[in-house]
Structure 1
Amino acid sequence: MVRRVASQVHQQVSRLMRANYIQKEPAWFNAVLDNPPLNLPPKSPPPRTAYDVKPPKSKLKAHSTRPLPIYYLEDDIRRQFFKDHPFEAFRPTTLVESDKIENAHPVTGDKWTRLRQRGRNPTSDDAVKFCLNLYQHHGLSLSDAYTTSVAQYRALRSEHHISTTFAVQEAQFLGSTFGPSEIETSLNLQKKALQTWSRKEELDEGAIAARKRWKAIVEKSHGRGQWSKGEEYVRLWQEGVRPNYMPALTEPVKVDSAAIPSR
């Protein structure tokens, strides 16, 4: 029998039975006719109906492959917060992550009515979360929630600054000594770097002199005011003095007798 697609086997058997090539009907024949398989292979296009042939009334807009923008309300609050408090971005924070996700704070939702409930030394992220919490759970508008959150944040930061200042003064009065702060350390390093600039010119001149190892190093003021417009040369010529420009080659070599070893 000619090789056929699996979904067309019952059709080929039906043709062979009509031609009396197969005398006995297979046991599966009627079951396949009651539940026929797909008439086409999976990759072949399905048959088009009259509805598919009709032109569509409106063109469907092609879907864009670009991802949709991700938007969070916290980003707008945080952007406005750092615009009003730019120096908060310089406050040191740790970026080290622990081996497990930190549990959510128990004070949240309707229970969170004051920023102080999260601690007396809040961070900028605490102020942003508190503003969003007031907007979502306490029925305040976004502007009122932001104003309330910023006011409480400033009050807590001012309280923390004053208490820290007095604690340092008390410790110094009792005899404690503190090392240089990070700002003082960075300023000292900057001063050392600036001091190296004063020696840069001297080091450059020394490097140039080292590269001129086999060349004459003449000062810039050498020979200035010594040219007599040829008068000195004419005077020596009239006196019969022969000019000698290379005395090291014309004069005899002086030998030091003390340097000669005795035999």
Structure 2
Amino acid sequence: MAYRAPPTELTKHVSRLLKGKLLKKPPTWFAAVQAVPPGPSVIRAQNTEVNIAGQTNAEKQFGQANRLPAHSINRHKQKNLKTRAPKPRPIVYPEDRLRRQFYKDHPFELQRPKLLVETTDGINRTNFSQLLLDGMHPAQVDGETVIKYQLHLMVSQNMTERQAYAKATSEFYEIRAQEEEEKRLAQSKIDSVFNALAAKKQTERTLQREEKAIAEALKSMTQ
């Protein structure tokens, strides 16, 4: 199989062939490639130092856990002649770690029904300064809302992960208790209405029996 030089080394490879008289004349493209050399490979040239200038403190903190230390990379280069296959860098979001912890402690939140149909009444929430905003129903607060609220506390109020988690979950429990209380009140109202209807029907049946008994008595008296 013929040697395939990388694009950046192509002109040097052709120059060596010309000096060794393996090529009689340079190719047509040789002058153009020398004037405008190709850039490095975007796929294989991976920058070990990632630009994190636009990241928040929480994103930097969570990103450090998934980054290989420099000494391990150098040790691999010294001990192994074969280079690693190029792999894309992992995409890490700060919410991933918070999400794993929350649903580990609250697995039943995953069983709550979700509305997947988008309508004009849908809420595209971007404000997480409070867990329950004005005008929101307690049922609209779910696990993802708690995770976003916890991240907001860590970024804007400089809370630690544990402090933000404790504050977010405590408010979440209060909202869930409020939702359950509203459900109990609604159920008690429904039960009272149905009981009243059932009692009314029973009264009507009793009156019908009395009227039937009176009619039969009058009929027997006339006979």
- Shorter-chain-normalised TM-score: which range? 0.3 to 0.5
Higher relative contact order (CA 8 A, sep 6+): 2
Q: Structure 2 length as normaliser, TM-score?
A: 0.46
Output the TM-score relative to the length of structure 1: 0.40
Q: Which is greater in Rg?
A: 1
